[in-house]
Amino acid sequence: MTSKTNNFSSEVADKLDYYVYRLIDPRNGHTFYVGKGKGNRVFTHAKTRKQNNAEDDDGKSELIKKIELDGLHVEHIIHRHGMDAKTAFEVEAALIDAYPGTLNKVKGHGDSSGRGVRHVKQIIEHYEAPEIKFKHKVLMITIRRSVMEEENIYEAVRYAWKLNAKRAERADYVLAMKEGVVVGVFKPEKWLEVTKENKAKYFRNHEGDLSGRWGFIGKTEVSKDIKEIYLNKRLPDKMRKKGIANPVRYTYK
C-alpha cells in the first residue's frame, strides 16, 4: 500500500509559498493532474471527494475513488516551490504540456498566447508569420488542439462559448486562432444561444451542459481578399498578454 500524507504543517506550508504539483495514480505511475497552489492545496482533491462535494466534473474525483477502492492512495509530487503566483502559473502551464493526457480542464496556459509546447519548425513558422493588421471588427476565438484533431476548424470554432451575444453580433468576421496564429476565417451570419432545442438542431456534436453559451452559423468560405488579410497571420505582440485564459477576444468594444 502506498503511504498516505494528507497535510502540511504550518511551518512547512509557510516555507513552500506557491508551488506546482502533480497527482499520480500509484497503480500505473500515470500523472493524471497538474496544479498549483499554496498551503494544503495539493491534498484538497482527495479530501473534497470524500466530502461528496466534488469541486469539478473532469473525472478526478471518480479516478481518486477507484484508486482508494483498490486500497491505495494518490501520490503527491511537488515539482517546484518557493515561487510567486506568476512564476507558478508559468511552471504549471509548462508541466501540463509535458504530461499529455491529464484531466486538467484547461491545458497549457501558453497556448492562447502562442507560447505553448511546439516543434522548432512550428516556432519558426509562428514568429516569422506577419502580424495581423485588423481592417474589420473581428472576434478571435482560440480553439483547443484536442478539438481540432476531432473536428474541422469551422466546427471547432463556431460553438460553444461564454460571450456577450450583442457584442459578438457586431463582428464582421470570426478568426479561429491556434497558438496566436489565424488558422480559419469565417463570416458569422447568425448567433444562437445553445438551448436544448438549438443544441439538438445546430450543436449536436458538443456534449455536456452548454447553458449560457453561444455559437454561430456562418460561411465557411470567405473572399480571397479577406483571407489574405488574416489567414496565417499572427496576433500582434502588443496584444499578447501572459496569463489570459479566456479563449474569446475582440478587436472592438
Quote the pLDDT of residue 243: 53
Residue spans of the domains in the chain: they are: 10-105, 120-250
**Distance in angstroms (rounded) separating the CA atoms of residues 160 and 227:** 24
Among 81, 82, 52, smallest CA distance to 64 is for 52
CA distance 21 to 209: 29
Burial of residue 187 (CB within 10 Å: 0-12, 13-18, 19+) is: middle
> According to the model, what pLDDT value does residue 242 have?
59
Kindly report the CA angle at 167 between 216 and 106, in degrees rounded to 5? 65
Q: Which residues pair with 20 in a beta bridge?
A: 36, 80
Q: What pLDDT does residue 142 have?
A: 92
**Alpha-carbon distance values, 196 to 131, 157, 164, 186 (Å):** 40, 20, 19, 25
Nearest-angstrom CA–CA distance, 23 and 6: 12
The domain made up of 10-105 has a fold known as: GIY-YIG endonuclease (3.40.1440)
| This model's pTM is above 0.75 | no
d(CA 243, CA 166): 26
> What whole-number distance in Å separates Cα of residue 203 and Cα of residue 160?
8
Give the tens place of pLDDT for each residue, 70-129.
989 999 999 999 999 999 999 999 999 899 889 887 655 545 455 666 768 777 777 889
Segments of the chain scoring below 70 in pLDDT: 1-4, 49-57, 106-117, 119, 145-151, 205-209, 241-245
